[in-house]
Structure 1
Amino acid sequence: MKAWRVHTNGEPRDVMRLEDIPDPEPGPGELLVRVRAANVNFPDALMCRGEYQVRPAFPFTPGVELCGEVLAAGEGVPESEATRVGARVIAQPVQPAGAFGERSVVGAASARTAPEALDDAEAAALHVGYQTGWFGLHRRARLQPGETLLVHAAAGGVGSAAVQLGKAAGARVIGVVGGKAKAETAREMGCDVVVDRREDDIVAAVKEATDGRGADVVYDPVGGDAYAKSVKCIAFEGRIIIVGFAGGAIPTPGLNHALIKNYAILGLHWGLYNAKDPAAVQACHEELSGLAADGAIKPLISERLPLDEAADAVQRVFDGITTGRVVIQP
């Protein structure tokens, strides 16, 4: 089969190689799947660069989530709707057999029936980003109807998921983007207010939109300057969710500031829930599937690309020049 592999760390466009390799074999508790679609995520680039918390041995295939068709089950896999041969599932690959190949191996425990309301590309983009958004907004920040949600990078894959989930929860959503094209995308995703960080004063815009109160919840996958601006426009008893540092700079919170303004700083590492509370991940999947069936959420797929364009796609996602989700369809 054909698959992209990384033999040394560096920029994705430089180190990802499309190679012919043997089909992977499912081990105990694993499923072999035919990849129908693989969503490109920021961590794919970090993995190529050697900067992700998971560092697989070389050579490895990037790609952390997919929609696939079950071809075979390894030893000890319990029978279920999501593990039968022919099932259409969303799942996370088991390294070194990542999603950017014609076939992959996934943990049977991570396999979940793909929502019928979504096509392959949309389903591939549902799992990590929307689970992260749901756990961040509901489990960590306890977002309430009528509250104001501020989403950084609102036109990106992670941000657009938070925008949709915020609207589905009855929140008023302010989206921060970089550039006019992304501003238009954020409006199409349902943002009530859009702030272009290249032209607008984020702090002033948020205070104006909230009559001086500030945002009740901030969803921050960017870090750096985005976080610095967030603490200047957070409401009394507001909650800032730290999702990632796509901007490249890890902020150093001033805890004295959090004390005097009565706001909470909440870390979110969604992957821990798979180990600590897998039942909650399954419950979230059922909730997301229901929202998709109702039309309340639908991943924004900006590009559907063939396998041979994966390296360039990973690079562009890392460079921050894409909107929505970029999906590879072998």
Structure 2
Amino acid sequence: MDSYDQRREELEAANLPLFHGFHEYLIAKRVGKRVSCDHIDRLEFFANVYLIDYQDQGLAEGFDEVSDFLGSWFIRKATWSDERSLLANVETFQKFYDYLHSVGSLDKERHQELRALIESSKGRWLRYLKRYNDPSIDIDDVWDPEELGEAELGDEAGESEGEVHLVLMLSGKAARHFKVASSKLPKADDFVGEGHWSSCWRCDLVAEHVPSKTRYFMLTNARTLYSIIVPNSDHRIESLVSMFSQILEQEIGKFDGELVWPPGGTFSLVRGQPRSLIGSQNELIRCALDLFAKPDPSLEVLCSELNQTPMFAIEEVIPRTAFEKHLAADPPCFLESGSRIIPFPGASPN
């Protein structure tokens, strides 16, 4: 056996305990066997291909090489690299760092640094991916900061701390109600995936109460499918966002209590949504309509029951459980005091 094969064998053997430990951690967190295996597959590719072949490191030493891996190597070398696979890797790294922290291999400060690095960088990685796959852009210019421009590097150009950007995807019915010209809205592809998991929501019409001319809209979080139903009797999009913000504050308060609002904040209306999200929300709407049919349903009770109903459009997920886990593992921002807050905007749109 030559030195390369021996070195590879040693590093692969050293990686195995981390794979096993991570898998047991995911199972204990009730992630599900299939999803757990997907996370392990992605981690094995990072550790046994990228780290060993290109960095000559094991996972215990090179676990924090996430930026070069997802921001460059994965985009160039993985033939299957696309937005979905890159974001799936982002989630794997987040969970893996949570695991390392849980077993004491990563102290609190380093854990927070790595989570913050991923959160601040994933939008840029997605832009790199988009540019790499754009035939009109010279390959040498894909990672060129000057070619990207400061406007595209918002996460490095000094965005204000605490400023929140909410992405609201409108269905055709919602756009017509709020008198928004869908064709003039930017595409969701330019926004979805760049913000925090809590930032992206889709709005669709659920039902209408004819006597009062009140329409009920469902706002569904793209990552967890957690849904809030909001009544609206006028056609101002600002009124929808304002009411949504107030109700969301109440909902999050049920989970961890403290919620502080920043002085500013913006939101973008976008068109075009992932088909998987549309399918999931359609399933939620069907459940909501069944619940609306019950005698005198209150919105609070209706939403509570809705979010505890298993969804199957993508994979089995209970929205409330998924939302609660994400809030516990990755709240939207840090405070200097060490406590976590959930900021959302109640401001007028750009």
- TM-score (ref. length: structure 1): 0.27
Where relative contact order (Cα < 8 A, 6+ residues apart) is larger, the structure is 1
Decide which structure has greater helix share. Answer: 2
- TM-score (ref. length: structure 2): 0.25
Decide which structure has greater strand share. Answer: 1
